Amino acid sequence: MVAPLVGILALQGGVLEHAAHLRAQGAEVREVRTPAGLEGLDALVLPGGESTTMTLGIAREGLADPLRAFAASGRPLMATCAGLILLDRTHLDVLPIDCERNAFGRQIRSFEGDVAVAGIDGPPHHGVFIRAPKVVAHDDDVEVLATVDDAVVGVRRGSVEGYAFHPELTDDGRIHAAFVARVRA
């Protein structure tokens, strides 16, 4: 069986950790910095980092339309933290959601804690939230995958999923495993 080829947007941010998880699930990984880098991918990850920096990089490289086209193609797309912000209505407008940045406060309020994720069996995922955003509004066709207190921190619509936390910073490979399984399906 041919290994699926998964791209990671690598303008800046936590690329290495996603790459390690994806490889552990048998995927091949390509770092994406230009529109040409999106060609031939089976799936894409938008990693954590600084959403302002990534947004400027997307504009500089002419990546906004190619990224929207990728999302619309139905190929799986996973976003974490800053990547989730990029999906919202005021950024790439890939999902009908609104995000609040740094919704839990500055770095001193960054935290880790258990979070149940829909579709992930077994014990709760141990979420790592770093200057994390939350989803403050979403259309009805967006499925909520995870919440912390009352805050929406995981969403999916069709082939696109986003998390406010960082599964890539944990040893829990279940979220990446499920993602790669969808790529193979």
Partner 1 sequence: MRDESTPRVKTGLAEMLRGGVIMDVIDAEQAKIAEAAGATAVMALERVPSDIRRDGGVARMSDPQMIREIQAAVTIPVMAKARIGHFAEAQILEALEVDYIDESEVLTPADEANHIDKWEFEVPFVCGATNLGEALRRIAEGACMIRSKGEAGTGDVVEAVRHIRSIRGDIKRLAGMDGGELATAAKNHQAPLELVRWVAANGKLPVPLFSAGGIATPADAALMMQLGAESVFVGSGIFKSEDPQTRAERVVMATTHFNDPAKVLEASTGLGRAMDSLEARKLPEDQLLAGRGW
**What are the residues binding partner 1 (CB under 8 A)?**
10-17, 33, 48-50, 52-53, 56-57, 60, 81-82, 101-102, 105-114, 128-131, 166, 169
| Distance separating alpha carbons of residues 63 and 68, to the nearest angstrom | 9
Q: Judged by CB, which is closer to partner 1: 4, or 47?
A: 47
Q: Judged by CB, which is closer to partner 1: 75, or 134?
A: 134
Residue 168 designated active-site: yes
Give Cβ neighbours of residue 45 (< 8 Å, ≥ 6 apart): 6, 7, 8, 9, 18, 22, 77, 78, 79, 80, 83
Residue 99 designated active-site: no
Q: Which of 21, 91, 138, 166 is catalytic?
A: 166
Q: Which of 125, 138, 168, 176 is catalytic?
A: 168
Q: Least distance in Å: CB of 74 to partner 1?
A: 28
Q: Least distance in Å: CB of 129 to partner 1?
A: 7
The helix (run of H) or strand (run of E) holding residue 182 is helix 174-184
Q: Judged by CB, which is closer to partner 1: 107, or 140?
A: 107
What b/e readout covers 8-17, taking b as 16+ CB neighbours within 10 angstroms?
bbbbbbbbeb
Active site residues: 81, 166, 168
